[in-house]
Structure 1
């Protein structure tokens, strides 16, 4: 086992809790501490995990100071995700994502933490039409969320240059997988589609469905993050964390039809402001830094995601298929 003591900010969130569970399963780190105010993530995501949890915000200096003590590395995942959310409240996105990152980096610097990984986003490319998108391409954010993520990576690399804090800024590309929430206004497309398909509701597509994304399975992301921490990987520029695939929403719908084995009702609505048409990563730098990583194929990852969600929505999906669900068997936690 590594002797590395890790802090995961936002450890109760989708990626954070998957990372915690993957690291514990591998025995990757000496110990793991989480800081999360659970405004986005769920405390129950960490049920059964042998980790120390500090319930607090990264914007709270006292909570952050406590969380940062005696850590060797930080994986900074705490954020307010979602383009639409940032359009409704730009200041909240800026505070959590830009100011929050600055607070984490400054706390890490003062605590003499040896390595920091931060999560940026493919949305920073914005209106740049180039495909695939290379880390050296120009960026042009189209939303407050995208701008806040550009600030996230810029601050991390600036701290590396200015203060010698080893840093790695990953640009995440549409991560999906088990544990991703479908049940809030800003849910990502894969869990929204999977839930609607399983319970027989219409699937809402913003636009014509021809828009494409470089979907990345969360298990693969966690493998990269763990390897990056263990080997203390740092780099002077951002790194795309995706594998150069392009899957359009029509293909996602086709795959879901096969998985649920019935027709789907699709409802089209106008495109959303701030959304980009196509996204695809140039993954040359990622493969150079992490040559041993093999990504999960999209069809396999989607199948695991649907199976995970089906296992938690059993009574609801049973009703869709005309089966009789046991009375009172659907708990509040199950539908969350």
Structure 2
């Protein structure tokens, strides 16, 4: 892996430019697609503000540009007409977005607009965007689908909906091709920096602390393993080549099952052979109570079908975390 810090480099344009590539999903994605792409065809753009532990996993698999998206001079020369941008970089916390919506807007909406403008100036038109399901849909009755009316109840959900709107606008105005993938609650390996519910509980149980459930335990989420999300992204790489200019598509990538948080806790406790106490607290502002998604459109058009069962995925994550998550060892 070559690391470049804001330096102009006389290289050809990237086949794939992946923003947030050192993050949780980016690392899983690069490790998989590097089996099919040469390292010189993959550029990983990351500010390294939230994740550095994954760097060793990417050695020899991609070229890394350390830069925020706003500093376009550090990466614009890697983008050409045939480049596909996989835009994963984002500030992903609902709770943090409620605390600081302006920062969330800049990290998500402004950065997306920045990279779309760079693409436009370089003649690049193909973009795959990491969106969200539950946060964007808000309290819509599950199962949600591409036909459901988005009603975000958090600044994070609103920021992702805004990004989708800009992508649609760039398709209509400038002939872009866009695929927007609305993820369920993603978990899996290479997530030592994540703050999601599974990672948080795992660390608390490891340290023999009680866990907190915000609600009464009946709240549901649609949990999907990172390996299944990577499957959906790679399938999208095939589809985006076939799309006509000016066309955008939206897909929900999920398991199609609403898992109660109480059941999730039981699965985690069983995998760790521990039974900590549970503290129940009030529902948090901005978080949906019940959510799961219908992924039938993705199955029909992309060939997407999740294969990692939740119990298996949690056991795999527990084993990985005991070795690689510094908060668990």
Coarse TM-score class (shorter-chain normalised): 0.7 to 0.9
Equivalent residues of 2:14, 2:79 under 8 A apart = no
Residue 95 (structure 2) aligns with: 84
Residue 220 (structure 1) aligns with: 228
Choose the corresponding residue for 2:68, options 57, 71, 74.
57
Task: Tell me the SS of whatever aligns to 1:118.
Answer: strand
Measure how far apart 1:63 and its partner are: 2.3
What TM-score, normalized by structure 1, do the two folds share? Answer: 0.86
Equivalent residues of 1:13, 1:45 under 8 A apart = no
Matches within 5 A, 1:111-190: 111-122=122-133, 123-128=135-140, 130-181=141-192, 187-190=195-198
The answer on 1:36 being equivalent to 2:46 is: yes
Q: Which runs of 5+ in 1 are unaligned?
A: 318-334
Task: Tell me the SS of whatever aligns to 1:277.
Answer: coil
In the TM superposition, what whole-angstrom CA distance separates every residue of 1:58-117 from its partner, at most 9, and x where no partner exists?
A: 112222424435762110001111011111211111011111111111211222224200
Matches within 5 A, 1:308-327: 308-312=320-324
Residue 232 (structure 1) aligns with: 240
Equivalent residues of 1:6, 1:72 under 8 A apart = yes
Choose the corresponding residue for 1:269, options 274, 278, 281.
281
In structure 2, how many angstroms separate the alpha carbons of the residues matched to 1:156 and 1:242? 22
CA shift in 2, pair 1:170/1:150, >3 Å:
same
CA shift in 2, pair 1:92/1:68, >3 Å:
farther
In the TM superposition, what whole-angstrom CA distance separates every residue of 1:160-193 from its partner, at most 9, and x where no partner exists?
A: 122111110111111000112357xxx1101111
Residue 328 (structure 1) aligns with: none
Residue 4 (structure 2) aligns with: none
Q: Which runs of 5+ in 2 are unaligned?
A: 1-12
Measure how far apart 1:311 and its partner are: 2.2
Measure how far apart 1:307 and its partner are: 1.0
Equivalent residues of 1:176, 1:216 under 8 A apart = yes
Measure how far apart 1:17 and its partner are: 1.2
Single out whichever of 25-34 and 113-122 deviates more from structure 2.
Answer: 25-34
Residue 201 (structure 1) aligns with: 209
In structure 2, how many angstroms separate the alpha carbons of the residues matched to 1:162 and 1:70? 17
Measure how far apart 1:27 and its partner are: 4.4
What TM-score, normalized by structure 2, do the two folds share? Answer: 0.87
CA shift in 2, pair 1:144/1:304, >3 Å:
same
Task: Tell me the SS of whatever aligns to 2:130.
Answer: strand
CA shift in 2, pair 1:306/1:151, >3 Å:
same
Equivalent residues of 1:4, 1:29 under 8 A apart = no
Equivalent residues of 1:12, 1:45 under 8 A apart = yes
The answer on 1:302 being equivalent to 2:314 is: yes
Equivalent residues of 2:177, 2:248 under 8 A apart = no
Residue 104 (structure 1) aligns with: 115
Single out whichever of 212-221 and 60-69 deviates more from structure 2.
Answer: 60-69
CA shift in 2, pair 1:44/1:282, >3 Å:
closer
In structure 2, how many angstroms separate the alpha carbons of the residues matched to 1:195 and 1:67? 39
In the comparison of the two structures, how many residue pairs are matched?
A: 311
